[in-house]
Amino acid sequence: MGSVVDKAASSAEDANQTAFDRRAYALGVLRSVMVTLAVSAVLVFAIEFVARGSFIDTLNFFQQPFKPSWTTVALFALLLVGLDALLGRPHNGLLIVAPVALLLAFVGHQKSLYLGDPLYPTDFLYARQIVELMPLLVRERPMAGIGIAVGLVAGIALLVFAWRYWRRRMPALTFWARISRLAIAIPALAFFVSIMDYATFSWTRDRLQIIPMMWDQKENYASNGFAIAFALNVPMAKVKAPHGYSEKAIDAIARPEQAAAALPEEKPDVIIVMSESFWDPTRLPGVSIMPDPIANVRAAQSGHVFSPEFGGMTANVEFEALTGFSNAFLPAGSIPYQQYVRAPVPSLATFFKSEGYETKAIHPFGGWFWNRAPVYKAFGFDQFMSEENLPQLEKRGPLVSDAALTEEIIREADAAEHPFFYFAVSLQSHGPYEPNRYSDTTHKVEAPTSPWTRDSILTYAEGASDADRGLKRLMDWASKRKRPTVIAFFGDHLPPLGPVYVETGFMDEPVAKRKAAIGEMLVQHETPLVVWSNRTGTTKDIGSISPAFLPLHVLKTAGISHPYYTGFLGDLSERFRVVDRNVLLPKAGESVFDWSRQKDVDPSIRDYRWLQYDMMFGKRRGAKPFFPETVDKVVADRTRSPLFLRPEALG
């Protein structure tokens, strides 16, 4: 009888122990979940604070119910849970996610301060550019360089210590604990990835208050937060066909009057110089610069280029100037040189080469920079002369001088046996513009500012003056030539002068606005433009134009007609002078903001977008009527990448 009682008591005790163990396990799971959520909330708050640089803005992001702050917290919690399962220890995923996310947020904040744009996934396509420019930045700002180096070493050391400490202190997860975590995290994360395509509607995404604002990336990051906005921009690598695009739509675009290109009997030589960060520093209010740093450009000025960029992203301006296509029709933050030019794309070089011209691109830096070497080949340049194959050119300051580049252009031109088209990109005036960059300055700056700002202006003005003298040297040389010669010269964007703009009152912030009153937009995005011929002089009254319209004015000045560059773009220029992602500037009438969000878009802009998509991503239905010089060239069939077909074979 006693044994029966003992067994019953033992069974009851076992049951109680099992129930206790289950409660303890459930409490442990709940505690782990709560800790993970709390850690995720702190991490997301820290990320937003670093990215925004404002505690109040970060607090508002978490307090407003129509912003996905807590969705982001849940997303990071799932990510941490999944990584913990893979690493086999609780909360170890934080040691990977936190440093990476905070570093990205810091880089994003610095980019927004320096260039005015947030960090995009595509920025990593040119990470090598940043690494290669670090010596220049460190040379100009040695203390900042030392601080970065010390911070990196300390951060890595701290991370290694935390990893070793955490691995010893935290108990290993059981096999089933790891499986259960993965069973929750992987499907949830996969579902989240599936709703990140901003081009398609998602009911779930809408309910989670994630509203893609791809037309206004600054607001996109402010509203959705750094992490989710960054994720929304991942699909931008793929460009979808615009609404209404089809072969019939391309066939319906009005054909230009000239079915083929026409050139003068004596073919003119053409030189285009895109001058790095060239701008008029006398526009800074209250600043006096003596003598005038851009006197020659001012005397020969044709108008302005309305740059789609500010302080950087030179390749995007270059893309428009060479192709006559527009960044306005590509995803915000994209870099066509890095992402989309993977096969022949029609350009001025393609056209000139088809007419027997010698075509060269010249830039005294690495051929890999902005992916220029393969891009120039796709554009039709015979040769790209970069630092790899250029002779040793003299430097002024830390970079190759504009004077040396100008002399190299002249040397190449004098040796040319055929008509030529040269496209040169200068380097000397690349930022940063720290005081005392040049030891032999020739200008004097007076400004009611701090000494640092005044000396920074002097550094920039000295470089701008060198570029100005380079143009004068080129024009003087061309004036003595018997052959007709056309020269175009323009700045790619305003220089990244940062605090100089704020201290002088030129702008409220260190970077230009993407959306503002049109007068303000013009001031913050215009760079000087010169289009000149040794036969007819300066082409006057061009006004303020998008870089995409540069081929039109260059060819017109040269007396050349072309179905697209002077035909289609010529007709378009009668209606619009600036086609920008954020604004359309008509030749007459009021500017149109947020035009891409409107249901009804001007038919000429619609056709422009269709034709660009057709030639870059589609089947090149418009090649024969608009780019006849490309019809006999082999091009990639993007629908079946292993094949290479002629455009006419594509339908």
DSSP 145-167: HHHHHHHHHHHHHHHHHHHHHHH
Task: Report which of 641, 600, 607 is spatially closest to residue 621, judged by C-alpha positions.
Answer: 607
pLDDT at 20: 53
Q: How close are the terminal C-alpha atoms of the chain, in Å?
A: 96
Domains of the chain: 18-236 (no CATH), 267-600 (3.40.720.10)
Which one has a higher pLDDT value, 455 or 171? 455
Give the pairing type, strands 537-538 and 543-545. Answer: unpaired
Residue 234 backbone phi and psi in degrees, to 5: -60, -45
Which one has a higher pLDDT value, 42 or 161? 42
Identify whether the C-beta of residue 116 lies closer than 8 Å to the C-beta of residue 229.
no
For 112-155, the pLDDT digits (tens) are: 776 667 887 877 766 665 666 566 556 656 666 677 677 777 77
Q: Given a cut of 60, is residue 646 above it in pLDDT?
A: no
| Close Cβ partners of 390 (under 8 Å, ≥ 6 residues apart) | 362, 364, 408
CA 394 vs. chain centroid, Å, equals: 30
Residue 7: how many CB atoms within 10 A of its CB?
10
Rounded to an integer, the average pLDDT of 209-223 is 76
Q: Given a cut of 70, is residue 10 above it in pLDDT?
A: no
Count how many residues are written for the chain: 651
For 552-591, the pLDDT digits (tens) are: 999 999 999 999 999 999 999 999 999 998 889 998 888 8
Q: Kindly state the DSSP code that residue 365 receives in the 8-state scheme.
A: S
Percent of the chain with pLDDT over 90: 47
Q: Given a cut of 90, is residue 37 above it in pLDDT?
A: no
3-state secondary structure of 123: helix
**Residue 206 in tokens:** 């809408």
Give the pairing type, strands 399-400 and 395-396. Answer: antiparallel
* Among the ranges given (44-53, 177-186, 555-564, 638-647), the one the predictor scored with the smallest mean pLDDT: 638-647
* Among the ranges given (9-23, 391-405, 411-425, 537-551), the one the predictor scored with the smallest mean pLDDT: 9-23
Angle at 42 between CA 41 and CA 43, to 5 degrees: 90
Task: Report which of 462, 136, 467, 450 is spatially closest to residue 297, judged by C-alpha positions.
Answer: 467
Identify whether the C-beta of residue 394 lies closer than 8 Å to the C-beta of residue 388.
no
pLDDT at 639: 33
pLDDT at 645: 34
Identify whether the C-beta of residue 581 lies closer than 8 Å to the C-beta of residue 328.
yes
Q: Given a cut of 60, is residue 82 above it in pLDDT?
A: yes
Beta bridge partners of 445: 289
Identify whether the C-beta of residue 609 lies closer than 8 Å to the C-beta of residue 618.
no
DSSP for 460-476, please give it.
HHHHHHHHHHHHHHHHH
pLDDT at 648: 36
**Residue 274 in tokens:** 């895109």
Q: Given a cut of 60, is residue 15 above it in pLDDT?
A: no
For 603-628, the pLDDT digits (tens) are: 999 999 999 999 999 989 999 999 99
Task: Report which of 414, 410, 358, 365 is spatially closest to residue 385, judged by C-alpha positions.
Answer: 365
Rounded to an integer, the average pLDDT of 210-238 is 78
Gap between the Cα atoms of 51 and 106, Å rounded: 6
Rounded to an integer, the average pLDDT of 227-239 is 78
Rounded to an integer, the average pLDDT of 17-32 is 59
Mean pLDDT of the chain: 85
